Amino acid sequence: MIVFDCQSCGIQMQAAPENAGKRARCPSCGAIQRVPEIDDAYTQDQPDSYDKYDRDDSPPDLDDIPQQPNWQWPGSQEPEVATVGEAETSLPPESKNADGTAISSITWGAIMMIGALLWFFANLAGGRFSIYAPIIFIMGILKIITGLSKL
């Protein structure tokens, strides 16, 4: 390949060696210029042909490929077993509330219920009724129940 710069915008262009001396249009700015001769321009070497690849190589043995360790998702391991004298007892599993999702769920449920009550009574004082306030109140109750079940 013949590699040369556009004289108008300076972008690097390429042309096949058989196009030396011919005119070429810059893809960036559209300027027409002459492709330089091979001795005037930088010639980029072509990569080696893929035909030189040795196709007789067999794939590597599976024993040579490193195996991944036995990996498990966190929390999926079996509970530890403690021995007390002759009897075996299972240790209690880790708390389900390790990241605080139950407390967060209960808090947001209470906030939803308080907001729904304020909205309901504000509408009632104005002589209006909105179905959305009771729906949000019920959603808050469900959120609190969900949080309590996580404890």
Cβ-based neighbour number of residue 140 at 10 Å: 20
d(CA 137, CA 39): 83
Residue percentage of the chain with pLDDT more than 90: 25
Structure tokens of 7? 């004289």
Name the residue type at position 66. Answer: P
Cβ-based neighbour number of residue 118 at 10 Å: 11
What is the DSSP secondary structure assignment for residue 83, as one 8-state letter? E
Cα-Cα-Cα-Cα dihedral sign, residues 44, 46, 48, 50: positive
pLDDT in tens, 31-50: 888 888 876 445 555 555 54
Question: Is 89 or 9 the better-scoring residue by pLDDT?
Answer: 9
pLDDT, position 106: 92
pLDDT in tens, 87-132: 555 545 555 445 678 889 999 999 999 999 999 999 999 999 889 9
Structure tokens of 76? 């999926």
pLDDT, position 120: 94
Mean pLDDT of the chain: 76
